[in-house]
Structure 1
Amino acid sequence: MESGFNEKDFLACCGSTKFAQEMALAAPFASLEQAVAAATDIWFNKVDVSAWLQAFSAHPQIGDSAPSSQSHHQTTSAQWSKGEQSTALATATGSSLQALSEWNARYRQKFGFIFIICASGRSTDEILAELKNRYPNRPIVEFEIAAQEQMKVTELRLKKLFTSKAKVSSTSDEYPAVFAKKVEEDRVNIIGGHLTANSENTAGRTSEVRTRTRPPITTHVLDVSRGSPAAGIEVFLEKWEGTQPRPSFGVTYTSGWKVLGSSTTDNDGRSGQLMSIVDAVDPGIYRISFNTGKYCPSGFFPYASIVFEIRESQKREHFHVPLLLSPFSFSTYRGS
């Protein structure tokens, strides 16, 4: 089956023209899962910061209405936004909308873009609580969280796009019976933007088993002292394969770590491919090390290492482990 979608269709899913162009070039897609996998790869690995900001700016704030004069893809996007925010609007009160408006303004003043969240199935109070929770974040951290939320919205809209295609092509031989059944299930879960917790979990399991388009472990480095990606940093990825099941805290090991791959961060701070693309990653203890001393000779850290564990139940998930670096501090978190 071919997707039969064009650049305008993908622009309705994500307001970045670069993203839409890349999706159109990657099309046609044999399935929804293939389209979502391509979209994830394009969004996190192929578009730049400007594309992220353009996509953010295409969203209305919670409770705002879309302009009356719009192009076709803008109208489609606005209709989907209305459906995605329907739970929030249905649970809103005058005081909660006022509070949300005030916090949106504070958020935009601090970060430079509107608060991005996948609003489907969330009440106004839930959205407001999440906004307050994320407001103290560092700008560089919040920027990536917003990008992750944008990807969630894009995935929901791709499902709606495939659902609409199924409606007009339901009698075509291009759609096998098993896919038609899945499309109908998606339609029930997605129409109106009301996704229950159970359907979100189901969608998450579906995402976990799809074929990967990037290695299961990735990283990037952001220089928070400059507010820009850190290029030219050497990166090593290792896995613990010592005689002990796992390295013990406080013990110095001369062997046991096996190098899986190495790379150097590019102009966007991304490390490139550190390991093979496999559907299931081996559970175990992993370590990513960064040659921070070479990048910043006057800094406090000659190198920085991040050790983390992948469990058996997580072997089909993706692990993005970034480094947020300054001359005298560094931090990390698990991204997606």
Structure 2
Amino acid sequence: MESSVVLGEREWLACCGSVRFAKEMASAGPFSSYQEAVGAASDMWFNKVDVNGWLEAFSAHPQIGESPSKTHKSPTSAQWSKGEQSTALATATDSTLQELCEWNARYRQKFGFVFLIFASGRSTPEILAEIKRRYQNRPIVELELAAKEQMKITELRLSKLFSANATAPSTTNTHYASDVAKVEDRVSRISGHLGTAKETPAEKAAETFTRTRPPITTHVLDIARGSPAAGIEVLLEAWDNNNQSRPLFGQMDSSHNWKLQGSSTTDKDGRSGQLMKMVDILKPGIYRISFNTGKYNPTGFFPYVSIVFEVRDSQKLEHFHVPLLLSPFSFSTYRGS
């Protein structure tokens, strides 16, 4: 039998920034299980908290892409907001952050409150597409959608609180509502499972070193036109041969030994976006970035360009920015920052 978890107003306010919601939920507790708490929270949020309470909760969130205020009334909520936006920030470029900032301002001007979305695990391009789609809604429709997003965030944060109190919901319980199950799935991916396994030195290093962007990035500049090169297909591969640590001269095109890490197409600023998973510790080895320059410039000299470089064991925490400077009859590269 699960023991009850007692949550005070401070904890409930961290989950949802409505003061009335926090007071009422603290009075209604304690709750014997996560699902019981979620059910009570959902009923309170949708049936008893008024529109003013909704707007108060919305205002407790920073804009997507913006750091939480140091004067935030709940430091825990501010810290959670930062973590929930980590994927968005990691996949952002200067141009997409600027575009997101502009759309945030347009959204707030139209609807009167901050754009709210369950951001955990979502990239900046995904969030940009969603804010543009939702901007077309009528205010009454958007208010309801924002309230639903707030409830998803509340469920995620409540799950963290129950996990911290060692009463996290059992994964064998099949009676959760479908939206709660989706939240739990994201929680498991973001926060990991609680356990007592001994950490390796590499895992400890990963905990104290958090990247804000993928470890390998690139962009393409068309130096003949003096502008970014948009629409170029990009592939990132890693040498993968257990019997041979690196390709020998003359073996560079042994395609079966190269493992694809990711692919994308350069945007209007010539940036490639996310080419690989977000990892704190980059696996040492030989990497290759290939550009479909022939498709971009059919009359040029190069059907494609490949840049091969090495990440040494001492460099696994570093960032590698490997741009391409391209013209129809020449190209160059360098290690940037």
Aligned residue for 1:88?
A: 88
Q: Distance in 1 between matches of 2:172 and 2:6?
A: 19
Determine helix, strand or coil for the equivalent of 2:62. coil
Equivalent residue for 2:148? Answer: 148
Tell me the equivalent position of 2:63.
Answer: 61
**Contact preservation (8 Å) 1:43, 1:151:** yes
Secondary structure at 2:114's aligned position in 1?
coil
Q: Which residue of 2 aligns with 1:190?
A: 187
C-alpha contact 2:21 2:44 (8 A) present in aligned 1: yes
2:67 matches 1:33 = no
2:75 partner amino acid: T
Is the counterpart of residue 7 in structure 1 residue 9 in structure 2?
yes
Task: Spell out the pairing of 1:1-336 with structure 2 (5 A cutoff).
Answer: 1-70=3-72, 74-166=74-166, 179=170, 190=187, 193=190
Q: Which has the larger radius of gyration?
A: 2
Gaps of 5+ in 2: 174-180, 193-337
8 Å CA contact retained: 1:108, 1:115: yes
Contact conserved, 1:116 with 1:149, CA < 8 A, in 2? yes
Q: Distance in 2 between matches of 1:88 and 1:101?
A: 13
CA distance in 2, matches of 1:77, 1:187: 19
Cα pair distance change 1:192/1:11, threshold 3 Å: farther
Give the whole-Å Cα distance in 1 for the aligned partners of 2:75 and 2:127: 24
* Kept after mapping to 2: 8 A contact 1:103/1:132: yes
CA-CA distance at 1:179 after TM superposition:
4.5
Pick closer, same or farther for the CA change 1:193–1:53 going to 2, 3 Å.
Answer: farther
Distance 1:68 1:97 in 2: 21
Cα separation, partners in 2 of 1:47 and 1:69, compared to 1, 3 Å = closer
Q: Whole-Å Cα distance in 1 between the matches of residues 186 and 102 of structure 2? A: 32
Whether the 8 Å contact between 1:86 and 1:193 is mirrored in structure 2 is no
Q: Structure 2: which amino acid aligns with 1:144?
A: E
Q: Tell whether the 8 Å contact from 1:85 to 1:120 is kept in structure 2 after alignment.
A: yes
Measure, in 1, the Cα distance between the counterparts of 2:189 and 2:11. Answer: 19
Q: Residue type matched to 1:190 in 2?
A: V
Task: Tell me if the contact between 1:62 and 1:85 (Cα under 8 Å) persists in the aligned partners.
Answer: yes
Which amino acid in 1 is paired with 2:146? A
Which residue type is aligned with residue 107 of structure 1? Y
Segments of 5+ residues of structure 1 without an aligned counterpart are 167-174, 196-336
Deviations 1:33-56 (A, max 9, x none): 000000000000011010000000
CA distance in 2, matches of 1:61, 1:193: 20
Check whether the contact 2:120–2:186 (CA below 8 A) recurs between aligned residues. Answer: no
Aligned residue for 2:165, secondary structure, equals helix
Aligned sequence identity (%): 62
Name the SS of the counterpart of 1:59 in structure 2: coil
| Deviation of the 1:131 alpha carbon | 0.2
Give TM-score scaled by structure 1 length.
0.51
Decide whether aligned partners of structure 1 residues 187 and 36 sit closer, same or farther in structure 2, where only a CA change above 3 A counts.
closer
Q: CA deviation at 1:190?
A: 2.3
Q: How far does residue 140 in structure 1 lie from its aligned partner after superposition?
A: 0.7
Kept in 2, the 8 Å contact 1:11–1:20? The answer is yes
Deviations 1:113-146 (A, max 9, x none): 0101000111000000000000011001111011
CA distance 1:132–1:188, shift in 2 (3 Å):
closer
TM-score (norm 2): 0.50
Instruction: Return closer, same or farther for 1:179/1:154 CA change in 2, 3 Å cut-off.
Output: same
What is the DSSP-based 3-state SS (H/G/I as helix, E as strand, rest coil) of the residue aligned with 1:64?
coil
**In 2, distance between residues paired with 1:20 and 1:136?**
32
- After superposition, the CA RMSD in angstroms is 2.6
Offset, 1:67:
2.3
State how far apart, in whole Å, the 1-side matches of 2:155 and 2:170 are. Answer: 17
Following superposition, the deviation at residue 189 of structure 1 comes to 5.2
| 1:69–1:56 CA distance, 2 compared to 1 (3 A) | closer
Aligned to 1:238: none
The aligned amino acid for 1:161 is L
User: Amino acid of the residue matched to residue 69 of structure 2?
Assistant: P
Give the letter aligned to residue 153 of structure 1: I
Answer yes or no: is the 8 Å Cα contact 1:87–1:120 preserved in 2.
yes
Moved over 2 A (4+): 67-71, 178-182, 185-195
Q: 1:68 to 1:152 in 2, by over 3 A?
A: same
Q: Which AA in structure 1 matches 2:109? A: Q
Three-state SS of the structure 2 residue aligned to 1:103 is: helix
